[in-house]
Structure 1
Amino acid sequence: MKLVNTSVKRPVGVIMIVLAIIALGTVSLRNLNVDLFPKIDLPIAVVATSYQDAAPQEVENLISRPIESSVSSVEGIQTVQSQSQAGSSLVLMMFNNGTDLDQALLNVRESVDQVKGALPDGAGDPNIMRFSPDQLPVMWVGLTGDKAAQLTEVADDQIVPYFERQSGVASVTVEGAKEREIQIVLDKAKMQQYGVTAQTITQSLNSSNQSASVGTVEKGNKDLQLRVTGEFESIDDIKQTLVQTESDGTVHVDELGEVNDTHKESSGETLVNGESAVVLSIMKKTDANTVEVADNINESMADIEEELPADVQSDVIIDTSEYIKMSISSVVQNILIGGIISFLILLLFLKSIRATIVIGLSIPIAIISTFTLMYFTGETLNVLSLGGLALGLGMMVDSSIVILEHIYTYRQRGYSLVQSAIKGASELAPAVIASTTTTLVVFLPMVFVDGIASDMFTPLALAVSFSLIASLIAAVTLVPMLSSKLLAKATQESGRRYWFNRLLDRVNNGYRAVLKWVLGHRKTTVFGTIAIIAGSLALIPMIGASFIPSSDQGQLQVTVETEPGSSLAHTQEVTEQVSEKLEAYDDVMEMNYLNVGGGGAGMGMGSSGNQATYMLELIPASERSVSTNDVVKDISDDMASVAGAEISVMATDSATGTGDPIQISLKGPEHDVLRELAGEVTGAISEVKGVHNATSSAEEGVPQMSIEVDSEKAAMYGLTEQQITNQIQLQFTGQTAAQYREEGDEMDVTLMYPEDERSTISDVEGMTIQSESGAAVPLESLVTLEQIQGPVTLQRENQQPQVNVTSEIIDRDLGSIMGDVEQRLEQLNMPEGYSYEIGGQAQDMTDSFTDLSIALVFSIFLVYVVMAIQFENFLFPFIIMFSLPATIVGVLFGLFVTGLPLSIPAFIGIIMLAGIVVNNSIVLVDYINIVRRNGKARYEAILEAGPSRLRPILMTTLTTILAMVPLGLALGEGAEMQQPLAVTIIFGLTISSIFTLLLIPVVYTLFDDLAAKFKRRKKTES
């Protein structure tokens, strides 16, 4: 090949190109975006709408359903879901993969705008946004101190503006803040004495709190702007506001009630390590580097801490970049260990430091080139792309080994160094290109795989492909050039390592003897192989299946849910018991963050006083003797003794963001029936071993007091339903009357009644309504009061009522658990018109396995096509393909021995094996043909080709297998994702290599006999 000839004769040019690649790769590495996992394309749009003080049923009928109907016609929508709860509606649209979400959002906005006018008065403007995992915080920072108001002021005025100026930060949200409010606590007796209503007070406050431009006048040669300034400048201005009385007199606001400068009543509480706190959650920009953003925040914290008040402390609660750094570090460590192992294997076989360096240089060149290609293709540096480099490490030297072996051959025949390099590399360059191509083409069908499997493993496939392409180029340019300069003494035998040669001779002799036996017992060999393959299939039920392995990130979430309708104070009492239980885990826990009363918050949904959430950060896995799952089980057992609440414990895993492992969607026309079915399903699946924290989205009803206005009685007193509603709302919720500005801050001026007049049922029953004439009418004479159970949240999917039953899994694989769950579901008698669907990770697993199975079939076909082109023959590639069925023996045996289920990474490993295992067979069959063309009989040709090709086959196989051992052992943080892939390749390639060396020669003879018989028959017929 001209490329080989040029590289040998122009070594300076090759060296300069290599140096340029190293420089470019170094720059690319510094600029690569570092993250834990690749970006997952989740084409989801969200429409969030508020409807204050409306019940879930009203929200569903008046908000959710009209919006659902309007957006359902948007092109590309796969599913429309809605959640309606008191005061808010959330409509989620899931689009087909490949949908242009920017255009889809425009279409959604147009559809919502068309229906916006039909929404009821009081409904907020629909907020349309996209959902992305990038919107999740990368860091949580807690501020603790004695005064909550001071913490809020420090957060809002000092820290948030400073953090948001840091590079890569998109926004900072404050949780647990105390919002300042001016409260006017009204005195009913004085209001009645002066004949003043709340409406009159509101009008007076608004009219006294206005500034306006009223024109201009001339002053000399200038126009003078006339402006009436009437805004409140102090709290005293609010107190002294005049209110018109019924008798045309005036009275000050502070004579009608108490004016307090205080904070809004809190709907929740935030604690960090048991102390009251304000928590800042930091979100990065979409294209920002997670690690870089976290480093910037940590540096800025160090700078700003000097300016904080002495009694305010700041602590990092959760920093997602720490796990990313540890994971990346562990993968890099595995790459280094694998590289050292490969180097030692090469040194053992080649018996020459120089020769080993010639081949070993392919590894760093390939890795550095891969970083450059990753940068220009927009890939991130994550555990999967780095894992691809670690997995491809041993394969990077395969081409170089084959080239160097052939250069050795010419050198031993007496050719000069330069001639040996040119002839040896030129002759085998087409073969190594074809061999590498068979490994690369298996990744092409991944282009047609959709969903999470594609998003997660395309970067791995690209990393492996880039590294193999770079190593191939190095093999046909750099290796010949270095061989022509460095191998002068490399071919000389030395007595220092003869022990290994003698070992290889014994292995060769043993292999020759076994090869003679299998060639003499061809039927036994073939049927024995079939029996072994069939026997390995019996391991499938014992292996099980799962979606994607979870990684031990050391993060837990404990959810506490008291009875629906429970007060915040009661939930806080329960959390105190939970916190006491958690103290027993201080030795493995770094940080705990508690949010009480904010369980339903997020994306426009309201908070709930009966919910509390703990986020627990454990010490790194290397510093503790127990796994996160072990801690989950122990805490779950301990929480069983806490009465008065449902407590669920789960490990949080940001690997996929795919939701719950098990999700069962129940659908039908009536919410009440679905709620009952959900209870039956929850009970049924809870009995399945491995199901953990099975819960239903149809929570128990919240106790409600239904107030039904008698419109005829109300009309008798000149009252409307709206007027009665407003007065009840003022009594029990309060009413914003005006805005007060002070030093750039704006706060509400709120009218409310004393707490002892708005806290019990008797306060409702004894309430009076003021008519237009000023008469006080008892509420009970105008309405019917009834205590009922109201729903918490109403869900719909594709415009049909829906309830979800979800569950975590523990101690068993997802596939086995789902098999048992489906059996339980089939035993349930579903009413007519009601059905269920399996979703969550179980459905994603099924879809991904289906797509990957199709990809595997296409990969095998492409490998055959490449070999057919290489051999220019249809028969020899077919013979070589017989090395593939035996691979399943190694795969299943490896998964069984290591206790790993068949998962998406393991399936990717099987696809990769389709391109790897044939390489040894190609080398063997190709050499058998060469020997036969030289005049030897078939039997002698096989006995010569097998042992002579054993050495390069052992070299390439051992470097590939042993380089993956660190990943197969899951050493370090974040290695759980690559472990199934590495185990699959290690065991699959090992077993397949054995079958290749023994089975392929037998199959070769069988098909050769068949071809000869066919030729003889053809001659006879002619």
Structure 2
Amino acid sequence: MKLVKTSVKRPVGVIMIVLAIIALGTISLRNLNVDLFPEIDLPIAVVATSYQDAAPEEVENLISRPIESSVSSVEGIETVQSQSQAGSSLVMMMFNNGTDLDQALLNVRESIDQVKGMLPDGAGDPSVLRFNPDQMPLMWVGLTGDEASKLTQVADDQIVPFFERQSGVASVTVEGAKNREIQIVLDQAKLQQYGVTSQTITQALNNSNQSASVGVVEKGNQDLQLRVTGGFDSVEDIEDTLVQTQSGGTVHIDELAEVNDTHAESSGDTLVNGEQAVVLSIMKKTDANTVEVANNINDSMKEMEGDLPSGLNTEVIIDTSEYINMSIKSVVQNILIGGIISFLILLLFLKSIRATIVIGLSIPIAIISTFTLMYFTGETLNVLTLGGLALGLGMMVDSSIVILEHIYSYRQRGYSLKDSAIKGASELTPAVIASTTTTLVVFLPMVFVDGIASDMFTPLAMTVSFALIASLIAAVTLVPMLSSKLLAKATEDSGKRYWFNRFLNRVNNVYRAVLKWVLGHRKTTVFGTILIIAGSLASIPMIGASFMPSSDQGQLQVTVETQPGSSLEHTQNVAEDVNEKLTAYDDVMETNYMNVGGGGGGAPGTGGASNQATYMMQLIPASERTQSTDDVVQSMSEELESVPGAEISVMATDSAAGMGDPVQISLTGPEHEVLRELSNEVVSTISEVDGVHNAASSADDGAPQMHIQVDSEKAAMYGLSDQQITSQIQLQFTGQTAAQYREDGNEMDITLMYPEDERSTINDLENVTIQSESGAAVPLTTLVTLEEVEGPVTLQRENQQPQLNVTSEIIGRDLGSVTNDIREKMDNMAMPEEYSYEIGGQAEDMASSFTDLSIALVFSIFLVYAVMAVQFENFLFPLIIMFSLPATVVGVLLGLLVTGLPLSIPAFIGVIMLAGIVVNNSIVLVDYINILRRDEYGRDRYEAILEAGTSRLRPILMTTLTTILAMVPLGLALGEGAEMQQPLAITIIFGLAISSLFTLLLIPVVYTLFDDLTAKITRRRKKA
């Protein structure tokens, strides 16, 4: 081929091109974004609407339903879900994969505009937002110290602006803040004594806290601005504010109330490693490099700590980049180990440093070229793309090995270096192009795969493809060129027999004898193969299935939930009991973030209630502990079961956490109340299934509430409105912001409130007196009726039907087996008429992905056959080669069974890759048999098969061993984050190993059978 001849005749040009590739690849590597996984595209939008003081039923009927109905007709929508709760509605729209979300959002806004006028008065304007589940903080930083208000002030004034100035930071949120507040604690007896109301005090504060420009006067040649200054300069000014009494006199505020310079009452408590703290959650910009942003923040913290007041310290609670760095480092380490193994295998076979270098150069050149292509296609450097390089490491040298072996054979026949390089490379270039193309085309059907499977593994497929294309070009250009310059001494025989050659000769002799036997017992060989394949298929039930492998990131979340309506103090007491239990895990715990009352639901800062406490814990790296995160979860769950007064769940946060719950059972039917009862029954039923962990219903328990119904007619008799009564009750129990106080550039609320012992119990509520316009004190109980009820719950709907979800984690078993057992339990449940269930979550995604990947596998096999048919210009020889595929099943199932891994998405991707890999050895073997039968010596079929088999055994062993052994580090899951590639590596290692054995023995037998069949058909045609 011209390309081969050009590369041999113009070595300087090839070298310059290689140097240019290395330079460009190095620059590309420095600019590649680094992340843990490729970005997952989940096309989801939400419509959020408020409707103050409305019950969930009203929100559902008046807000959620009209919005659901309007957006359901938007093109591309797959599912519409809504959550209606007291005062707010959230409608979530999930679009089909591939939908243009920008256009879809425009369509949704148009639909909302059409229905906006139909919403009730008092409803807020609906907000249409893009929802990205991956937008989680990249880092949580704790600021610890003694004074809560000082922590908040330092965080707001110093740390937040400092962090937001760092490159790549989008926003910083302060959690657990204690805001400074001037509290005016009213003395009710004094108010009645002086005839002063809270409105009078509020008016007095605002009148005294005003500054205004009142004109201009001349002074000589200057104009002087006239400004009346009346703002508060100190807390004493607030105390000295004069209030007009009913009798016309005046009184100072400190005579009516106690003025305290303190901080606002908190709805929660935040601790970091047991110390009072505020927590800063840091979000990165969408296109920013996670690792680079985290490094910027960590470096800047060292600079910032010197400027912090004494007694205050910063500590990184969770840094997601640490796991990314460890994962990337372990994958790079696996690549290096695999590269060294491949180099040693080549050296073992070739017995020549020069020959090994000739082939080994394909690896770095292919990898560096891949970085360039990744940069220009917008891929990130993550564990999957780097894993693709590690998986393709052994395959990168396959083409070079085949080319070099053939060049070597011509050199031994006496050809010159240049002629050997040109003739040997040119002769086998079509074969290596065909074998590489068969590996590449298996990835083409991935375009038919949707969802997470496609988002996660398309970058891996592209990376492997880039590497193989680069290695192929190196094989047909660089290898012949280097062979013509460096192989002079490599082909010389020193006279001593190389021990490994002697070993290979013995292997060759054994193989030749076995090959003769199988050729003499063709039926036995074929039926024996069928029996082995059938036997392996019987092991499928023992393997199981899962969606994605869990990676041990060492992050835990503990959720504590006391009875609805529990006070913050009660929840704190329960949290203290939990803390005592958790001290047993101090040896494996690195950091511990606790939020009582203000957190919960998945991550710090997601909001909560007084009956919830959330712990986020970072364990020490997996390499430094003997227990896995799942082991710690199980142990912790058992330990915390003994804590009374709360429901406690423990879960691990891993790579699959952003992909939904492992099991999600959606219950649908006409009545919410029936669904609530049914969901509790489902939770109880599936909890009996082995492997189910933390089964829970999405139905909220109602919180106890006291409804206050104002009697408007009685209120009117006293000259009071409903709003006046509501305002005075609110002042009594939650306080009321009266004015603002500014000090040193900071602004804080001046809040009116009553002493805590007058606003804590039911008796305090019943003893409230309402002041009328005339100053008369009217008992609240004469104006209102009090009724204790169960508070509102969240009402859920899916596709315009009431719905509830039951979710579950899984531990100790594979997802497929657990799902099958759950489905069996659910089928045996007596479901009421018109009520049904569907199993979703990761279980649904797994089933959908497996279906798509099965279709992709069928297409891949067809494409492999089509490529070989074009290469051989024959339909028969590709069919013979395809018989190496069924035997792959034996290796795949054996590998998963031996290692105890379930069939997962990565393992399925490995099966698809095998469809293109395992045929390569068969292509080389069948192609060489045909060459020998057509050459000048005209060997008969039997001799051609024996010679082709024994002569091709060496390159087949080399390519197979380099591919397999280079993947062993990934197969052993060495290092952090390697769990994701392990199933893929195991599939290829065992599948390729077993199929190679069948290739060497079965393919020659199938070749003879088809050759005989062709001869019979040809003879019949001649007779006809």
Report the Cα distance in structure 2 between the residues aligned to 1:120 and 1:751, rounded to whole angstroms.
33
Query: In 2, Cα distance between the equivalents of 1:241 and 1:111?
Result: 54
Contact 1:171–1:282 (CA under 8 A) maintained in structure 2:
yes
Note the C-alpha offset of 1:862.
0.8
Aligned mates of 2:943, 2:517 — CA distance in 1: 14
The answer on 1:313 being equivalent to 2:316 is no
Please state how far the C-alpha of 1:89 moved relative to its aligned partner: 4.0
Amino acid at match of 2:695: A
Q: Which runs of 5+ in 1 are unaligned?
A: none
Residue aligning to 1:99: 99
Q: Distance in 1 between matches of 2:42 and 2:272?
A: 32
What is the match of residue 736 of structure 2? 735
CA contact (8 A) 1:708 1:784 kept: yes
Identify if the C-alpha distance between structure 1 residues 15 and 655 changes in structure 2 by more than 3 Å, giving closer, same or farther.
farther
**What letter corresponds to residue 969 of structure 1 in structure 2?**
L
The equivalent residue for 1:888 is: 889
Return closer, same or farther for 1:448/1:110 CA change in 2, 3 Å cut-off.
same
Aligned to 1:289: 289
Task: For 1:168-567, list aligned pairs within 5 A.
Answer: 168-212=168-212, 229-495=229-495, 498-567=498-567
Superposed displacement of residue 367, structure 1: 0.6
1:995 is aligned to 2:998: yes
CA offsets, 1:176-202, max 9 Å, x none?
A: 110122222223333334444333433
Deviations 1:72-93 (A, max 9, x none): 4444333233334455543333
C-alpha displacement at 1:815, in angstroms? 0.2
The C-alpha deviation readout for 1:322-344, integer Å capped at 9, x for no partner, is 11111111111111111111111
- Distance, in Å, in 2 between the alignment partners of 1:841 and 1:686 is 18
Q: Which moved more, 1:6-15 or 1:385-394?
A: 6-15
Please say which of residues 508-517 and 680-689 is displaced more in the overlay: 508-517
1:380-436 deviation per Cα after TM superposition (whole angstroms, max 9, x unaligned): 111111100000000000010111111112212222111111121122212211110
Using the TM superposition, name which of 9-18 and 134-143 deviates more.
Answer: 134-143
Q: How far did residue 160 of structure 1 move?
A: 1.3
Q: Please tell me whether the aligned partners of residues 134 and 284 of structure 1 are also in contact (alpha carbons under 8 angstroms).
A: no
Could you tell which deviates more after superposition, 798-807 or 352-361? Answer: 798-807
1:834 aligns with 2:835: yes
Q: Secondary structure at the match of 1:806?
A: strand
C-alpha RMSD over aligned residues: 2.4
Give the Cα–Cα distance (whole angstroms) in 2 for the partners of residues 441 and 296 of structure 1: 42
d(CA) in 2 for partners of 1:996, 1:871:
18
For 2:951, the aligned partner's letter is S
Specify the SS of the correspondent of 1:287: coil
Q: Kindly tell me: are residues 681 and 215 of structure 1, through their superposed partners in 2, closer, same or farther at Cα, counting changes over 3 Å?
A: farther
- Do the aligned partners of 2:600 and 2:613 also contact (CA within 8 Å) in 1? no
Written as runs of structure 1 = structure 2, the 5 A alignment for 1:702-741 is: 702-741=703-742
The answer as to 2:592 corresponding to 1:589 is no
Higher deviation after alignment, 540-549 or 785-794: 785-794
- Give the corresponding residue for 1:44: 44
2:143 aligned partner: 143
- After superposition, where does 1:966-1005 map in structure 2 within 5 Å? 966-1005=969-1008
Q: Which SS does the other structure have where 2:886 is aligned?
A: coil
Alignment partner, residue 800 of structure 2: 799
Q: Deviations for 1:615-636, whole angstroms, at most 9, x for unmatched residues?
A: 1111111111111111111111
* AA matched with 2:941: R
1:453–1:848 Cα contact (<8 Å) kept: yes
Cα deviation per residue 1:712-752 (whole Å; 9 max; x = unaligned)? 44444444444333332222222223333333322222222
Which amino acid in the other structure matches residue 379 of structure 2? Answer: E
CA separation in 2, counterparts of 1:688 and 1:749?
56
User: The residue matched to 1:552 in structure 2 has which SS?
Assistant: coil
Counterpart CA distance in 1 for 2:887 and 2:957 is 18
In the aligned structure 2, how far is the partner of 1:52 from the partner of 1:160?
A: 32
- Separation in 2 of the partners of 1:495 and 1:672? 90
Matched residue type, 1:626: Q
Asked if the contact 2:687–2:693 (Cα under 8 Å) also holds between the matched residues in 1, the reply is yes
Name stretches of at least 5 consecutive residues in structure 2 with no aligned partner: none
SS at match of 2:286: coil
Counterpart secondary structure, 1:657: helix
How far 1:224 moved relative to its partner? 6.6
The CA deviation at 1:266 is 0.5
Q: Distance in 1 between matches of 2:872 and 2:218?
A: 99
Amino acid at match of 1:470: A
Identity of aligned residues (%): 83
Per-residue Cα deviation, 1:623-673 (whole angstroms, up to 9, x for no partner): 111111111111111111111111111111134611211111222232222
Q: Match of 1:1011?
A: 1014
Equivalence for 2:844: 843
Which residues of 2 match residues 56-95 of structure 1 at below 5 A? 56-61=56-61, 63-86=63-86, 88-95=88-95
Counterpart AA for 1:568: L
Q: Which amino acid aligns with 1:384?
A: L
Shift of 1:759: 0.9
CA distance in 1, matches of 2:1023, 2:223: 118
* Alignment-mate amino acid for residue 8 of structure 2: V
**Inter-partner Cα distance in structure 2 for 1:779 and 1:306:** 56
CA 1:131–1:417 in 2, change beyond 3 Å: closer, same or farther? same
- 1:135 partner SS: coil
What letter corresponds to residue 1014 of structure 2 in structure 1? Answer: A
User: Given that residues 77 and 93 in structure 1 are in contact (C-alpha distance below 8 angstroms), is that contact kept between their aligned partners in structure 2?
Assistant: yes
Cα distance change, pair 220–858 in 1 and its aligned pair in 2 (3 A)? farther
Structure 1 residues 768 and 714, CA, compared in 2 at 3 Å: closer, same or farther? same
- 2:960 maps to which residue? 957
Preserved CA contact (<8 Å) 2:695 2:806: yes
1:603 CA displacement: 11
* Paired residues, number: 1021
User: 2-side partners of 1:756 and 1:426: how far apart?
Assistant: 95
Deviation at 1:687, TM superposition (A): 0.3
Distance (Å, rounded) in 2 between the aligned partners of 1:679 and 1:656: 24
After superposition, the Cα gap between the structure-2 partners of 1:317 and 1:52, relative to the gap in structure 1 and judged at 3 Å, is: farther
1:874 paired residue number: 875
Kept after mapping to 1: 8 A contact 2:708/2:785: yes
C-alpha separation in 2, matches of 1:745 and 1:76: 49
Q: Secondary structure at the match of 2:896?
A: helix
Structure 1: distance between partners of 2:672 and 2:206: 44
Amino acid at match of 1:82: S
**Post-superposition shift, 1:56?**
4.2
Of residues 308-317 and 330-339 in structure 1, the stretch that sits farther from structure 2 once superposed is: 308-317
Q: Is the 8 A contact 2:599 2:606 kept in 1?
A: no
Distance change (3 Å), C-alpha of 1:656 and 1:852: farther
Give CA-to-partner distance per residue, 1:788-820, whole Å, 9 cap, x none: 222443333333332211111000000000000
Where does 1:124-135 land on structure 2 (aligned, <5 Å)?
Answer: 128-135=128-135
Aligned to 1:902: 903
